[in-house]
Amino acid sequence: MTDTIATTEATLCRILAEVLELDVVRPQDGFFEVGGDSVLAVAVVARAREAGLVLGVRDLFDHQTAEELAAVVGEVSGARSDSAASEKSPLLTFADDEFGEFEDAGAGDTEAEWETIT
| Predicted pLDDT at 79 | 41
pLDDT digits (tens, 9 = 90+) for 6-17: 899 999 999 999
Whether the Cβ atoms of residue 54 and residue 80 lie closer than 8 Å to each other: yes
The CATH number that domain 3-104 falls under is: 1.10.1200.10
| Predicted pLDDT at 111 | 54
Question: Whole-number mean pLDDT of the chain?
Answer: 78
Its pTM stands at 0.64
> Between vectors from CA 31 to CA 61 and to CA 12, what angle results, nearest 5°?
95
Domain boundaries, the chain: 3-104
Whether the Cβ atoms of residue 28 and residue 65 lie closer than 8 Å to each other: yes
pLDDT digits (tens, 9 = 90+) for 40-57: 999 999 999 999 998 899
Burial class (CB in 10 A: 0-12, 13-18, 19+), 106: exposed
